[in-house]
A and B are shown apart, each in its own frame.
Chain A
């Protein structure tokens, strides 16, 4: 039986791979959860594309400031040591390789590390890209956090993306509710799997061909 991890459990797994002292950008959606589960033993500096380093959690009700928001336009706070800067510098940090880790959501990831996470339908909705392409090409490590399949069960890990690309060959590691996979020269290499899941079951919900590491580890479901 396939028993996927909760979003928070996936976020905890991503958080384990973020080292103390890292400069990190968390994408809109699932990646935001990572900020809530990083332990207090690590000092992480969160970057926001609109011009914040040292971004803190949401303010208490009534303390919101409309001029202090994150990339998702939600109210946030600034931690001691934090700073404000203008948009061009915010993207110098991203594009220029100064951000250690970018955690992004995905519609699709290919076995070559291509990422599609900005548009699925160009006909009926106006296209919108925001900072997705800059984050994908610029961060030193690009981690993708996503469900293993779409809501209706279609694979998101594919030989080639069918949706328009955000960037080509940029994804380093993918964390899903079923597995942790590295993107290598031979495609997806499974490093960790959800408890009770068989290799055949994981391959059956993955369109790309999987390779399994010699020492596949069981994921903590909590």
Chain B
């Protein structure tokens, strides 16, 4: 029998090792798997590469991982959100690495990893600082930059409902990076607000099929 449900947040993040690349969903406050990130904080893995849109704000989730010096490098598109103080402080002190990636390229690099592709050429970033050192090819008369796939060892994702096979539906714009990150990691861990019985999710409306999901944990809506 397939049952991807786990009983606790600690079980959900068990086995994540030092040095892991962790994909963390969310855009601003929307869709961030806050409780899973806090569980990773308690779990203790360090020297992490974290891939996420923003670099955390305030004292919670990704900002807490950064504050506790658990993140060696962050790969993100917009690390300058309001209240992103811990990232800025460590960045100025040279204590955290930053790989800045245009937002669509960040998402597409993870999609390529999940799709088994060796990368792609994109017009985004051509003729800019972010293309420096990268292969450029003219396609259709326009310069395109080669971008590598970006796989994760782990993805931490927030969804709305799941069944025991790990089929997922999301809520509103909280979906953001979730479906792509779920495909791109060796271990995909999802927190949901509600478990439903197998067969209760409309198969026409499943957003992430369970094949991409390894563990699901229930966290009550805050």
Binding site for B on A (CB under 8 A): 48-52, 65-69, 73, 78, 84-88, 90-91, 94-95, 114, 122, 124-134, 137-138, 164-168
Contacts and interface: CB of A to CB of B under 8 A. Distances in A.
Nearest to A169: B127
B175 interface: yes
A51 B124 contact: no
Contact of A86 (B125, B130, B177): B177
Interface string B58-93: 000000000000000000011111100001100110
A129 B174 contact: no
Nearest to B57: A73
Contacts of A95: 104, 108, 122-124
20 contacts: A50-B28, A52-B173, A66-B29, A69-B30, A73-B29, A86-B176, A86-B177, A87-B175, A87-B176, A87-B177, A87-B180, A90-B104, A95-B123, A125-B80, A126-B88, A127-B100, A129-B78, A134-B102, A165-B129, A167-B124
Complex A-B, nearest 5 residue pairs according to Cβ-Cβ distance, in ascending order: A91-B104, A134-B104, A128-B80, A73-B28, A168-B127
A137 B180 contact: no
B146 interface: no
B201 interface: no
A138 B104 CA distance: 11
Nearest to A118: B128
Interface string B17-29: 0000000000111
A161 B171 CA distance: 42
Contacts of B81: 73
B79 A85 contact: no
Nearest to B178: A86
B124 A48 contact: no
Contact of B179 (A69, A86, A125): A86
B31 interface: yes
Interface string B118-146: 00001111111110000000000000000
Q: How large is the interface on B (under 10, 10 to 19, 20 to 34, 35 or more residues)?
A: 35 or more
A125 B177 CA distance: 26
A18 B130 CA distance: 31
Contacts of A138: 104, 123-124
B128 A88 contact: no
B119 to A, nearest CB: 15
A126 B90 CA distance: 10
A137 B102 CA distance: 12
Contacts of B98: 126-127
B77 A137 contact: no
Given A52-B173, A69-B173, A94 B104 contact: yes
Nearest to B171: A67
B107 interface: yes
A190 B174 CA distance: 43
A91 B108 contact: yes
Given A73-B82, A86-B180, A134-B102, 6 more contacts: A50-B30, A84-B172, A126-B55, A131-B77, A165-B128, A166-B128
Contacts of A85: 175
A94 to B, nearest CB: 6
Contacts of B196: none
Given A51-B173, A131-B103, A68 B30 contact: yes
Contacts of A52: 173
A134 B105 contact: yes
Contacts of B179: 86, 88
Interface in B94-119: 98, 100-105, 107-108, 110-111
